[in-house]
């Protein structure tokens, strides 16, 4: 390395004065704080449509609160340098210091660029969902990112932010190269200790004597977006990493109240009059159901369950959307039974699948249940229940069943046959990321169902769509017109319109063929997706989905609409109630067609990832519990469009909060103890003990 006598190499060991090193540290801290402020401004710009009804002072408050979170991450970044102040030569190796700070600036810039579309897609700051995608098939994840998002543009943004930050740090370095006149190590130690104390205090983000700054401290306004804006994506990702590393052993939901009290409350609200508990000393909700007495036998034998990707109720015509995105679904809804207060358990396909099929709720710390050890438990899902009636089962899916461990999970739950992306011959269209189009999936699904119908044996078929998922790879020649928003094509809504078209063609073929009078078709979304506004602190747009039951005489027997609140864990008991007959199950939901007329229904929901927000919905009221913060009560409506207003009712809020805590605590403990199935494994274990 050639060194200039006028300007020593940045990697030299020239000792600098204590004041010079201290100014260098504070200057570097300022660079990171500015970098975070710019990142927050970019996030605001990318999601500016969410600020339409937010006062400017609330946005300013978010930046003010965000400074405290930014300060925490800045202190973490500078900690090695602060400790190095204790060395006799202090920060003499400025080149190594600059290299470290450049690497950290690159990391923070990368996460800031990553979060722009992450938040736009999921309405959440960086969380454990990042790690779940990293663990998945790298080829599929890279393809999804490359074809679904402006990757090169974000790389350029990341590079520009990093270069500017490094440029500023180098300039600060050069401006603070003041040789130390004399050795004064004792003074350096004193200053270093003071800096360590200041850094430790600042890294708490607060001067209170209790816990350091937490997620809850960002929840200072009534608007979810400004609360999220106040957070720092690097901070939330770090907290998610800590949770991933083993915080499940400290699950706070396990100690909300005495277990017996929680169990009694759950049973009082979820066990219905026609149900009798089985093995109550061992299993929380395992029960025998006596069939409903009706004047007209249901006549249904077969079940076709359609789980539709990102099918948001708020984008459908029947829920007031004017863009005419779902004309085929709207027509089907007028022929069947529509549940208009129905919600997804989570905001990711993974949660929608196990909640619907395995009849088990989406719980904090277990949002990715199908890939966690507890996913091997013996759940009391629909395949388990119908297997006792000798049903044939089939799962048809556009994509690869390896994703989210779908094959492993559902095979363990008694699903017999699987048809995935590699089983389609000469598909109409296959994209590079996910698989075949929804048209291909529905075509194959129809062919398989027609064969099963001709066979005469009872069957259960799942059809899962995929085209309405980023990167929205659709056939080049669409059979529908693109959806235009403000004169520009909206890829997400266009994908939903295409999905609606494929759904309509499928039902056209079902009607034309005929002979399906003994088959009930159940349609629901796996989750919704965000809109131009965030309703309540849990963003109800992302949870509100339709549940539609379609079949012969459905409306005559059950009516055209039901407004009882429900979620995906209620699907299995509701289907079984329609099929009729006695059965045993251990579902964590209820038959929505058997609830009492004055029963408003209940749903307990939470977002994907490590965010701790949870909510309970009863009738037209929702209680949202942000992480470590005061719960908030709202009155909401779903028609003619989704909206909510704050509500003050301390007694009702406490009642809802207690019920939610009891449910989550009881379900979590049952999951950990593997007491969520039919009870046959409990009997086997007891027999082996004897």
Helix H, strand E, coil C: the string for 553-574 is: CHHHHHCCEECCEEEHHHHHHH
Q: Which two tokens stand for residue 501?
A: 């078209």
pLDDT at 13 over 70: no
The answer to whether 112 and 77 are in contact (CB under 8 A) is no
pLDDT at 294 over 90: no
Q: Is the peptide bond before 45 cis (omega within 30 degrees of 0)?
A: no
What is each CA distance from 464 to 307, 376, 528, 535, 575, in whole angstroms?
Answer: 5, 22, 15, 28, 17
What is each CA distance from 9 to 3, 30, 95, 543, 655, in whole angstroms?
Answer: 6, 24, 8, 58, 68
- Strand ranges inside 331-477, DSSP E: 337-339, 342-343, 392-397, 417-419, 459-464
Using 50, 70 and 90 to split pLDDT, how confident is the model at 608?
confident
pLDDT at 277 over 90: yes
pLDDT at 302 over 80: yes
Cα dihedral 474, 476, 477, 483 in deg (nearest 10): 50
The single-letter DSSP state of residue 389 is: T
The answer to whether 483 and 493 are in contact (CB under 8 A) is yes
Task: Indicate the burial class of 686 (C-beta count within 10 angstroms; 0-12, 13-18, 19 or more).
Answer: exposed
3-state secondary structure 305-371: EEEECCCCHHHCHHHCCCCCCCHHHHHHHHHCEEECCEECCCCCHHHHHHHHHCCCCCCCCCCCHHH
The single-letter DSSP state of residue 434 is: S
pLDDT at 683 over 70: no
pLDDT at 5 over 50: no
Residue with tokens 């996460």: 111
Average pLDDT over residues 279-296: 85
Average pLDDT over residues 422-440: 90
pLDDT at 688 over 50: no
What's CA 426's distance to the chain center, in Å? 34
Task: Give dist(CA 121, CA 144) in Å, integer.
Answer: 13
Task: Give dist(CA 133, CA 115) in Å, integer.
Answer: 14
Crossing angle of helices 94-122 and 18-46, rounded to 10°: 20
Task: Give the pLDDT score at 182.
Answer: 60
Per-residue pLDDT reduced to its tens digit, 512-536: 999 999 999 999 999 998 877 889 9
pLDDT at 201 over 50: yes
Q: Give the end-to-end CA distance of the chain in Å, rounded to a whole number.
A: 78
Q: Which of 70-84, 246-260, 275-289 has the lowest mean pLDDT?
A: 246-260
The answer to whether 63 and 134 are in contact (CB under 8 A) is no
Using 50, 70 and 90 to split pLDDT, how confident is the model at 135?
confident
Cβ atoms within 10 Å, residue 34: 14
595 - beta bridge partners? none
pLDDT at 685 over 60: no
Cα atoms in the 13 Å half-sphere on the side-chain side of 166: 20
Per-residue pLDDT reduced to its tens digit, 138-191: 777 788 777 778 889 999 999 999 999 999 999 999 999 877 666 678 888 999
Task: Identify the CA nearest to 386 among candidates 410, 414, 361.
Answer: 414
Per-residue pLDDT reduced to its tens digit, 619-647: 999 999 988 788 999 999 998 889 999 99
Q: Which helix (H) or strand (E) holds 266?
A: helix 259-270
pLDDT at 260 over 50: yes
Task: Give the pLDDT score at 689.
Answer: 44
Task: Give dist(CA 64, CA 68) in Å, integer.
Answer: 7
Q: Dump the DSSP string for 483-527.
A: PEETTEE-HHHHHHHHHHHHHHHHHHHHHHH---TTEEEEEEES-
pLDDT at 71 over 90: yes
Q: Domains of the chain (ranges plus CATH)?
A: 18-245 (no CATH), 259-689 (3.40.720.10)
Task: Indicate the burial class of 638 (C-beta count within 10 angstroms; 0-12, 13-18, 19 or more).
Answer: buried
What is each CA distance from 495 to 150, 311, 468, 470, 501, in whole angstroms?
Answer: 18, 10, 5, 9, 10
Task: Identify the CA nearest to 239 among candidates 164, 167, 322, 131.
Answer: 131
* pLDDT > 90 fraction of the chain, expressed in percent and rounded: 69
Task: Indicate the burial class of 651 (C-beta count within 10 angstroms; 0-12, 13-18, 19 or more).
Answer: exposed
pLDDT at 330 over 70: yes
Task: Give the pLDDT score at 668.
Answer: 95
Strands 392-397 and 417-419: parallel
Task: Indicate the burial class of 516 (C-beta count within 10 angstroms; 0-12, 13-18, 19 or more).
Answer: middle
The 10 Å CB-count burial string (b at 16+, else e) for 141-163 is: bebbbebbbeeeebeebbeebbe
Residues 6+ away with beta carbon under 8 Å from 199? 75, 78, 79, 82
The single-letter DSSP state of residue 432 is: S
Residue scoring higher pLDDT (4 or 117): 117
Task: Indicate the burial class of 3 (C-beta count within 10 angstroms; 0-12, 13-18, 19 or more).
Answer: exposed
Task: Give dist(CA 109, CA 135) in Å, integer.
Answer: 22
Task: Give the pLDDT score at 517.
Answer: 95
**Mean pLDDT of the residues in the chain:** 90
* Overall pTM > 0.75: yes
Per-residue pLDDT reduced to its tens digit, 344-369: 999 999 999 999 999 999 999 898 89
Task: Give dist(CA 611, CA 361) in Å, integer.
Answer: 16
């Amino acid at each position: 390395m050639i060194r200039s006598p006028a300007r020593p190499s940045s990697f030299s060991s020239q000792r600098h004065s204590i004041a010079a090193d201290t100014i260098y540290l504070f200057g570097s801290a300022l660079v990171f704080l500015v970098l975070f402020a710019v990142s927050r401004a970019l996030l605001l710009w990318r999601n500016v449509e969410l600020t339409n009804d937010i006062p400017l002072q609330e946005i300013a408050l978010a930046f003010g609160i965000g400074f405290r979170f930014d300060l925490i991450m800045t202190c973490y970044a500078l900690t090695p340098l602060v400790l190095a102040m204790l060395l006799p030569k202090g920060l003499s190796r400025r080149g190594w210091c600059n290299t470290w700070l450049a690497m950290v600036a690159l990391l923070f810039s990368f996460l800031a660029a990553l979060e722009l579309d992450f938040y736009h897609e999921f309405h959440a700051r960086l969380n454990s969902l990042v790690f779940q995608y990293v663990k998945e098939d790298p080829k599929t994840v890279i393809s999804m990112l490359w074809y679904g998002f402006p990757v090169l543009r974000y790389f350029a943004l990341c590079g520009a932010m990093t270069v500017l930050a490094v440029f500023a740090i180098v300039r600060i370095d050069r401006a603070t190269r003041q040789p130390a006149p004399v050795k004064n190590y004792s003074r350096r130690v004193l200053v270093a200790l003071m800096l360590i104390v200041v850094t430790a205090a600042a890294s708490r983000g607060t001067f209170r004597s209790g816990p350091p700054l937490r997620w809850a401290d960002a929840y200072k306004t009534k608007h979810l977006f400004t609360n999220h804006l106040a957070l720092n994506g690097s901070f939330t990702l770090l907290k998610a990493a800590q949770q991933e590393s083993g915080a499940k052993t400290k699950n706070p939901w396990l100690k909300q109240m005495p277990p017996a009290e929680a169990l009694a409350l759950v049973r009082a609200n979820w066990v219905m009059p026609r149900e009798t508990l089985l093995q109550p000393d061992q299993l929380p909700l395992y029960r025998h159901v006596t069939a409903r007495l009706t004047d007209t036998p249901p006549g249904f034998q077969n079940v076709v369950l359609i789980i539709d990707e990102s099918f948001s109720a708020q984008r459908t015509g029947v829920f007031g959307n004017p863009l005419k995105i779902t004309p085929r679904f709207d027509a089907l809804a007028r022929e069947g039974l529509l549940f208009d207060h129905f919600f997804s358990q989570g905001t990711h396909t993974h949660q929608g699948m196990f909640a619907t099929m395995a009849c088990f709720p989406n719980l904090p710390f277990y949002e990715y249940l199908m890939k966690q050890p507890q996913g091997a438990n013996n759940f009391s899902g629909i395949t388990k229940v119908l297997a006792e009636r000798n049903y044939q089962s089939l799962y048809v899916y556009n994509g690869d069943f390896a994703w989210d461990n779908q094959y492993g999970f559902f095979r363990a739950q008694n699903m017999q046959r699987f048809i995935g992306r590699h089983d389609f011959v000469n598909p109409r269209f296959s994209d590079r990321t996910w698989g075949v189009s929804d048209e291909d999936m529905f075509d194959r699904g129809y062919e398989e169902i027609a064969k099963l119908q001709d066979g005469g044996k009872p069957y259960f078929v799942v059809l899962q769509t995929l085209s309405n998922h980023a990167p929205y790879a659709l056939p080049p020649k669409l059979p529908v017109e693109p959806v235009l928003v403000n004169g520009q094509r909206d890829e997400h809504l266009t994908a939903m319109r295409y999905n609606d078209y494929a759904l309509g063609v499928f039902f056209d073929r079902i009607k034309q063929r005929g002979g399906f009078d003994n088959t009930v078709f159940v349609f629901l979304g796996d989750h919704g997706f965000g809109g131009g506004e965030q309703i309540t602190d849990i963003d109800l747009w992302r949870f509100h989905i339709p549940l539609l039951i379609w079949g012969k005489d459905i409306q005559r027997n059950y009516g055209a609409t039901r407004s009882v609140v429900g979620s995906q864990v209620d699907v299995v008991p509701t289907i079984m109630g329609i099929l009729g007959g006695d059965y045993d199950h251990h579902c964590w939901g209820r038959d929505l067609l058997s609830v009492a007329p004055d029963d408003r229904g209940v749903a307990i929901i939470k977002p994907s990832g490590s965010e701790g927000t949870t909510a309970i919905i009863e009738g037209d009221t929702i209680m949202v519990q942000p992480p470590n913060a005061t719960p908030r009560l709202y009155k909401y409506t779903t028609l003619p469009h989704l909206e909510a207003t704050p509500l003050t009712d301390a007694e009702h809020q406490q009642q809802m909060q207690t019920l939610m805590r009891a449910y989550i605590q009881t379900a979590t403990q049952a999951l950990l103890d593997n007491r969520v199935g039919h009870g046959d494994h409990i009997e086997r274990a007891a027999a082996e003990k004897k």
